[in-house]
Amino acid sequence: MRLQGKVVAITGGALGIGRATAQLFAAEGAAVALGDTQVPEAETVAKEIVGRGGRAIAVGVDVGDAAQVQTYVDRVVADFGRLDVMFANAGIAHAAPFLDHALGQWDRVLRVNLTGVFLCGQIAARQMVRQGGGGRIMITASINGFRGVENLVGYNVAKAGVIELTKTMAVELAPHRITVNAIAPAQIDTRLTRDFSDDAKQRRMARIPMGRFGDVDEVAKAALFLASDDASFVTGHTLAVDGGYLAGGLWSRPAAPPARS
């Protein structure tokens, strides 16, 4: 088991990438603390893990509130004795054209997606420094942090900020043997993307050279690598899990060649 005896905090752990990561990390031997505003859903995941013989708790937390993040980390330490890995995964989005994007929604998205990551990283790192022994911090960024994807200005800016925050944290925390890395998924098959219209799905898949959305388990496996000892000399890096999106740019699958007569 690659995380035997480790204690992991995962924000946004109730659904999607967070849920898949929590289940995988627990299967790899970690004690998992799922932090989320959707507490009943997080409790369901925790019960599933415990039912399979793992260790897990669910904690209500608004990552944009410093006091709540501190309480979350304190609860993790109280229940499991330490904190080895923080996966700052919680995030939200608001879609609107730039000219119509409301200031309130801008503030809301940056509060969760950027300030929330700063708070989770800082408070977790302080705990890791106090206890000694190093640690791992991972962050869910996005391919949108590299590209100006339409109608998502707040989300894009927050994710670009997360990528720079990852680098800065990595440099400052390296002397404490704390690594900091981000994962940048492309479109992933989750509850949210399943609500897309067929036309919207096709337009998004046309930009992915592999021609499909990713699976939450594929992102979770990338997170597992970064959390494990296999990534002990990897820090300040943003790993794209994107089916070739960034390599191909605004890529369109070529039309099939005409049939030969």
Residue 72 designated active-site: no
Active-site residue identified among 87, 155, 213, 245: 155
246 lies in a domain?
no
CB atoms within 10 A of CB 93: 18
| Cα 156 to Cα 153: distance, rounded to the nearest angstrom | 5
| CATH code of residue 215 | 3.40.50.720
248 lies in a domain?
no
Count of the separate structural domains present in the chain: 1
Domain of 18 in residue numbering reads as 7-240
- The pLDDT tens digits for 7-63 are 999 999 999 999 999 999 999 999 999 999 999 999 999 999 999 999 999 999 999
Return all residues near 41 (Cβ < 8 A) that are at least 6 apart.
14, 15
- The pLDDT tens digits for 154-205 are 999 999 999 999 999 999 999 999 999 999 999 898 766 666 777 777 877 8
247 lies in a domain?
no
| pTM for the whole structure | 0.92
82 lies in a domain?
yes
> For the purposes of burial, counting CB atoms within 10 Å of the CB of 217, is it exposed (0-12), middle (13-18) or buried (19 or more)?
middle
| Contact indicator for 58, 34 with CB cutoff of 8 Å | yes
